[in-house]
């Protein structure tokens, strides 16, 4: 049955797709998860399906089927690492930018930079879900993140001074003090004020003990620190207390359900109040509709982010769409500009 579904999906994408005047060829892979008698939440099922998809891509299979309890699918594919290393050298990684909006004023106050791999051979934009875990478990994450920090600061230096930039920094980077010099050199070179840069540190996974000291060093420099994906990882209040941070990002897992679930709404409200009491600002992620945005504003959330305000786009499109408000409809779209 699932084999038939996979074959059907492949037939649909058999021919290249016309995307704003550019014909994009598609390779289709599928990852399936079959429920069994193990107790597995819908979130875990999605993670297993994503793992199966990654396995299908890395082994060049059209589809992979897994069941809860099988663990092979969750391992990141180490064979991707040399390809990522080459791609870093060839400059195939770029940041896409998603707007962050002030809840009080409705203006764009910043952007989150999200990495994309532009594969010029396949003319494809590869999302981070397909490679970032493999990169984070190898040494290549260090040069990749350093490159992305310079790139983010460079792009931000072209924007109005009221607009900041946030970048994701994995725990591995917090084992070395080179991060401090990479950040301060970039800020000096592009002459932007440190308060415009935020480093997002995920709450998932363990932080090295050196992390706290390095993050404190960043804050002394004036750089802001955000706790990302709050509520989905360790979620320890000690972590919340001890991590030197300025901002808390509420994960979309709570935001997307807060209008339909009383518990999710209570959790969001509680995080906002607790963060404010601890003198931290709050960003809500994954806002997809006006009603959720209005509810978050009513609950005194400071900053709003999600597809409702804009999906991540390349730097040029971000500036046109979100900063100038002067859009150029004849520009042909970002795929054609990025991929030639
Ligand atoms: P994240 O840091 O939590 O980023 C938010 C993710 O949610 C992004 O996915 C974004 O495109 C997506 N998103 C934003 N608004 C909405 C919405 O309204 N609805 C839905 N359904 N999704 C929304 P993306 O770009 O695929 O990134 C996924 C994850 O990959 C990121 O989660 C982050 O953990 C990691 N990542 C992305 N860029 C980087 C990077 O430059 N470095 C590192 N180390 N990790 C990165
Ligand atoms: Ca983030
Ligand atoms: Ca997040």
Long-range contact set of residues 17-23: C-beta below 8 Å, sequence gap at least 24: 19/333, 19/335, 20/332, 20/333, 20/335, 20/336, 21/332, 21/333, 21/336, 22/333, 22/335, 22/336, 22/339
Pocket test for ligand 1, best of 168, 253, 308 (most atoms within 8 A of CB): 168
Question: For residue 178, what is the enclosing H or E element?
Answer: helix 178-190
Q: Whose CA is nearest to atom 10 of ligand 1?
A: 312
Ligand 1 neighbour 251 (Cβ under 6 A): no
Q: Whose CA is nearest to atom 43 of ligand 1?
A: 168
Ligand 1 neighbour 310 (Cβ under 6 A): no
The pLDDT confidence band at residue 57, using thresholds 50, 70 and 90, is low
Ligand 1 neighbour 302 (Cβ under 6 A): no
CA dihedral sign, ordered 103, 243, 256, 99: positive
Whole-number pLDDT of residue 261: 95
The 3-class secondary structure across 101-113, one letter per residue, is EECCCCCEEEEEE
- Give the Cα separation of 94 and 92 in Å (integer): 7
Q: Which tops the pLDDT comparison, 214 or 51?
A: 214
- Looking at the chain, the whole-number percentage of residues with pLDDT higher than 70 is 84
Contact 180, 221 (CB under 8 A): yes
Per-residue pLDDT tens over the stretch 134-154: 999 999 999 999 999 999 999
Ligand 1 neighbour 283 (Cβ under 6 A): no
Q: Which tops the pLDDT comparison, 45 or 307?
A: 307
Beta strands in the chain (DSSP E): 17-19, 22-24, 30-33, 63-66, 93-102, 108-119, 124-126, 164-168, 197-202, 224-230, 247-250, 281-284, 303-304, 313-314
- For residue 224, pLDDT beyond 70: yes
Whole-number pLDDT of residue 66: 74
The distance from CA 188 to its chain's CA centroid, rounded to whole angstroms, is 26
Contact 84, 131 (CB under 8 A): yes
- Give the Cα separation of 63 and 3 in Å (integer): 8
Please state, in angstroms and as integers, the Cα–Cα distance from residue 306 to each residue in 73, 258, 303, following that order. 29, 14, 10
- Give the Cα separation of 141 and 32 in Å (integer): 29
Ligand 1 neighbour 115 (Cβ under 6 A): yes
Per-residue pLDDT tens over the stretch 237-284: 877 888 899 999 999 999 999 999 999 999 999 999 999 999 999 999
* Stretch 185-206: mean pLDDT: 93
Tokens of 242: 């001890």
Ligand 1 neighbour 170 (Cβ under 6 A): yes
Whole-number pLDDT of residue 60: 56
Whole-number pLDDT of residue 263: 95
- Give the Cα separation of 318 and 148 in Å (integer): 17
Q: Which residues fall inside 5 Å of ion ligand 2, going by CB?
A: 168, 200, 228
Whole-number pLDDT of residue 150: 97
Q: Whose CA is nearest to atom 4 of ligand 1?
A: 114
Whole-number pLDDT of residue 58: 56
Tokens of 303: 């900053």
Contact 53, 32 (CB under 8 A): no
Tokens of 151: 């790139």
Please count the other Cβ atoms lying within 10 Å of the Cβ belonging to residue 126: 17
Alpha helices in 61-177 (DSSP H): 80-90, 132-136, 141-156
Q: Whose CA is nearest to atom 19 of ligand 1?
A: 286
Number of H helices, E strands in the chain: 13, 14
Per-residue pLDDT tens over the stretch 72-115: 445 667 788 999 999 999 999 999 999 999 999 999 999 999 99
Range of lowest pLDDT (28-42, 106-120, 203-217)? 28-42
Whole-number pLDDT of residue 84: 95
């Amino acid at each position: 049955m699932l084999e038939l579904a996979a074959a059907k999906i492949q037939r649909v994408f058999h021919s290249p797709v016309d995307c704003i005047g550019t014909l994009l060829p598609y390779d289709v892979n599928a990852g399936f998860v079959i429920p069994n008698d193990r107790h597995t939440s819908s979130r875990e099922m999605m993670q297993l399906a994503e793992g199966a998809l990654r396995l299908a891509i890395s082994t060049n299979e059209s589809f992979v089927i897994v069941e809860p309890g099988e663990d092979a699918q969750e391992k990141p594919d180490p064979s991707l690492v040399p390809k990522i290393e080459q791609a870093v050298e060839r400059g195939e990684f770029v940041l896409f930018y998603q707007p962050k909006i002030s809840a009080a004023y409705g203006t764009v106050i910043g952007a989150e930079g999200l990495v994309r791999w532009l594969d010029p051979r396949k003319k494809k934009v590869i999302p981070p879900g397909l490679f970032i875990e493999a990169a984070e478990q190898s040494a290549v994450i260090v040069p990749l993140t350093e490159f992305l920090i310079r790139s983010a600061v460079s792009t931000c230096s072209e924007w109005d001074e009221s607009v900041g930039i946030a970048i994701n920094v994995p725990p591995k980077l917090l084992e070395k003090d080179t991060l401090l010099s990479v950040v301060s050199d970039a800020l000096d070179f592009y002459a932007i004020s440190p308060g415009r840069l935020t480093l997002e540190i995920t709450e998932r996974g363990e932080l090295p003990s050196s992390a706290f000291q390095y993050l404190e060093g960043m804050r002394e420099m004036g750089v802001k620190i955000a706790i990302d994906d709050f509520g989905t990882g360790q979620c320890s209040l000690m972590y919340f207390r001890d991590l030197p941070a300025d901002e808390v990002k509420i994960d979309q897992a709570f935001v997307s359900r807060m209008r339909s679930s009383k518990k999710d709404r209570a959790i969001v409200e509680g995080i906002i109040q607790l963060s404010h009491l601890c003198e931290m600002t709050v960003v809500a992620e994954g806002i997809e509709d006006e009603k959720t945005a209005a509810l978050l504003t009513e609950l005194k959330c400071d900053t709003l982010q999600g597809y409702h305000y804009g999906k991540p786009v390349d730097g040029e499109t971000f500036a046109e769409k979100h900063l100038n408000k002067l859009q150029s409809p004849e520009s042909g779209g970002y795929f054609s500009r990025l991929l030639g």
